[in-house]
């Protein structure tokens, strides 16, 4: 059993999630296996809408929001596949998702860090709970968000690659830039990257190291 954990934020989940969900449905992913973790909230709550699970959480841990919430609240699944709300999947996604070595504790999308996107066993996540909670952020100030964003950039996929054991991978080092467009109608320049290992398209606004990162759509 694999559940999908999607990182999002209170400021923009209404613009991103409905787009992503359409593609998960087309790929054969059932709504009940999808959990959306919405960071940056002032009050915790939970809703189930059209069988999709929405967790409104009182921390903004950027790329680690879902991971932090899963280990703190002990939300069970044999495996979690963690991804972002600014990604969509193709028709081959489900078949590729389930094609991983039996018994693997974690499976990276690529042989090198790629935005923490990957498969994690629930048992493994609980075993490294303290390491995960280093990435938890409850300070919503501009400086704090930039600090944790930079932490995520400097330690990209640190649960996959910096924390033992070495992960399995879904395939070779292969990805392409497909276009530069903004699916969400905002003014930010966004780059669309394609990862054939999992048939994933990722809309990205930050692809270079800078002094201040864009955290808007």
Residues 6+ apart with CB under 8 A from 49: none
Q: What gap in Å lies between CA 158 and CA 177, rounded to an integer?
A: 24
Residue 38's pLDDT is 98
| 3-state secondary structure at position 94 | helix
Q: What is the pLDDT of residues 191-213, one digit of tens each?
A: 999 999 999 999 998 876 767 87
Ordered per-residue pLDDT tens for the chain, 217 residues: 999 999 999 999 999 999 999 999 999 999 999 999 999 999 999 999 999 999 999 999 999 999 999 999 999 999 999 999 999 999 999 999 999 999 999 999 999 999 999 999 999 999 999 999 999 999 999 998 898 788 877 888 999 999 999 999 999 999 999 999 999 998 888 999 999 999 999 999 887 676 787 777 7
pTM of the complete model: 0.95
Residues 6+ apart with CB under 8 A from 37: 5, 6, 7, 8, 55, 57, 65, 66, 69
Q: What is the pLDDT of residues 116-132, one digit of tens each?
A: 999 999 999 999 999 99
Query: What are the phi and psi torsion angles at 31 (to 5°)?
Result: -55, -35
Residue 11's pLDDT is 96
Q: What gap in Å lies between CA 14 and CA 213, rounded to an integer?
A: 22
Q: Among 150, 123, 121, 124, which Cα is nearest to 135's?
A: 150
- Percent of the chain at pLDDT > 70 equals 98
**Do 211 and 123 contact (CB within 8 A), yes or no?**
no
Q: Which CATH architecture group holds 2-170?
A: Alpha-Beta Complex (3.90)
Any idea where the domains of the chain sit in the sequence? 2-170
Residue 208's pLDDT is 65
């Amino acid at each position: 059993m694999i559940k999908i954990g999607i990182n999002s934020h209170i400021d923009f989940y209404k613009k991103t999630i409905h787009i992503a969900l359409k593609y998960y449905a087309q790929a054969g992913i059932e709504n009940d296996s999808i959990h959306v973790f919405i960071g940056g909230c002032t009050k915790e709550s939970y809703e189930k809408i059209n069988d999709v699970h929405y967790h409104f959480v009182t921390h903004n841990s950027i790329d680690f929001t879902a991971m932090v919430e899963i280990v703190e609240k002990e939300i069970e699944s044999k495996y979690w596949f963690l991804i972002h709300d600014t990604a969509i999947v193709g028709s081959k996604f489900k078949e590729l998702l389930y094609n991983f070595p039996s018994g693997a504790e974690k499976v990276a999308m690529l042989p090198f860090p790629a935005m923490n996107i990957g498969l994690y066993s629930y048992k493994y996540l609980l075993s490294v709970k303290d390491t995960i909670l280093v990435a938890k952020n409850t300070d919503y100030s501009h400086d704090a968000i930039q600090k944790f964003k930079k932490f995520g950039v400097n330690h990209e996929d640190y649960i996959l690659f910096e924390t033992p054991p070495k992960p399995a991978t879904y395939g070779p080092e292969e990805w392409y830039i497909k276009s530069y467009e903004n699916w969400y109608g905002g003014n930010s320049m966004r780059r669309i990257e394609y990862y054939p290992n999992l048939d994933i398209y990722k809309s990205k606004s930050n692809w270079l190291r800078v002094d201040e990162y864009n955290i808007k759509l």
